[in-house]
């Protein structure tokens, strides 16, 4: 696991806790060395401080995302909503807010890793309504075009594709997709928005991933269920 943190004392404390929890840890103290180390060492998770000298955490996350699908947990200093959402917008999978308890940090790390490892269990691909999602390869095609999804975006889409035309509240989604018993529900909102930008023809007027006002979200897949009549004469 790669810990990117410029405050040496904090980086050391975090490393000690993570090592104690059984992880291999390396530290990068600035953005550029983080990118170098991520590329050469290929960590299974990056814990990324938002406030770094030179290249800040948001930019590091953007650049990581161009070449790697490694899960990223953003560490936000101020804990303002804007900061958290900015972190998630750039492709972070989760965030923790300073000051965090070491226990909370280890829980978050384990939760993210559990999600990314769980997908290695062979689950059958889903093919429906123009989507072809392959959990083993962690790839999604939408009308034949590959979608570049982050870990959680992938999990969210996989969950909804398996349960089309059902409404889920943000609380239900954060519990089942994120595996959190607690957490900020705006995380779900942000991921839904990001997913819409990738799957909707017009993300401002979603036709697939719909908001059910006051309830939650629903993935509408009109082609599932009964066959439309024009297809009933056979052939596809």
| Single residue of 21, 29, 37, 51 touching Ca ion by CB under 5 A | 51
Q: Are residues 44 and 113 in contact, defined by beta-carbon separation less than 8 angstroms?
A: yes
Q: Are residues 156 and 209 in contact, defined by beta-carbon separation less than 8 angstroms?
A: no
Which residues face 132 on adjacent strands? 127, 141
Residue 89 makes contact with Ca ion by CB under 5 A: no
First and final CA of the chain: distance in angstroms? 47
**CB-count burial class (<10 Å; 0-12, 13-18, 19+) for 10:** middle
Residue 146 to residues 89, 135, 167, 198, 204: CA-CA distances in angstroms? 20, 14, 26, 10, 21
Judged by CB under 5 A, the stretch of 41-49, 61-69, 98-106, 119-127 that binds Ca ion is: 41-49
Size of the site for Ca ion (CB under 5 A): 3
Judged by CB under 5 A, the stretch of 47-55, 147-155, 165-173, 187-195 that binds Ca ion is: 47-55
> Considering beta carbons, is residue 49 or 94 the nearer one to Ca ion?
49
Q: Are residues 223 and 168 in contact, defined by beta-carbon separation less than 8 angstroms?
A: no
| Single residue of 2, 11, 45, 49 touching Ca ion by CB under 5 A | 49
> Considering beta carbons, is residue 31 or 91 the nearer one to Ca ion?
31
Least separation in angstroms between residue 47's CB and Ca ion is 12
Minimal CB distance to Ca ion: which residue? 51
Least separation in angstroms between residue 162's CB and Ca ion is 40
Least separation in angstroms between residue 7's CB and Ca ion is 5
Least separation in angstroms between residue 52's CB and Ca ion is 6
CA dist 125 and 142 (Å) reads 13
| Single residue of 6, 56, 134, 184 touching Ca ion by CB under 5 A | 6
Least separation in angstroms between residue 75's CB and Ca ion is 8
**CB-count burial class (<10 Å; 0-12, 13-18, 19+) for 227:** exposed
Q: Which residues bind Ca ion (CB under 5 A)?
A: 6, 49, 51
């Amino acid at each position: 696991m790669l810990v990117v943190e410029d405050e040496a004392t904090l980086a050391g404390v975090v490393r000690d806790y993570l090592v104690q929890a059984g992880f291999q840890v390396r530290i990068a103290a600035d953005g550029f060395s983080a990118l170098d180390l991520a590329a050469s060492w290929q960590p299974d998770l990056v814990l990324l401080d938002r406030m770094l000298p030179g290249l800040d955490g948001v930019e590091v996350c953007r650049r990581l995302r161009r070449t790697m699908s490694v899960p990223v947990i953003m560490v936000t200093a101020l804990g303002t909503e804007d900061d958290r959402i900015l972190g998630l917008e750039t492709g972070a999978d989760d965030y923790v807010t300073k000051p965090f308890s070491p226990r909370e940090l280890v829980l978050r790390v384990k939760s993210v890793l559990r999600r990314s490892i769980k997908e290695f269990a062979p689950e059958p691909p889903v093919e429906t309504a123009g989507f072809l999602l392959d959990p083993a390869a962690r790839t999604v095609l939408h009308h034949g075009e590959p979608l570049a999804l982050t870990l959680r975006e992938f999990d969210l889409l996989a969950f909804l594709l398996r349960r089309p035309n059902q409404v889920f509240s943000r609380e239900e989604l954060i519990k089942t997709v994120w595996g959190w018993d607690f957490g900020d529900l705006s995380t779900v909102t942000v991921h839904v928005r990001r997913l819409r930008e990738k799957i909707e023809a017009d993300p401002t007027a979603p036709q697939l991933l719909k908001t059910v006002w006051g309830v939650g979200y629903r993935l509408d897949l009109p082609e599932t269920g009964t066959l439309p009549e024009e297809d009933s004469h056979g052939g596809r």
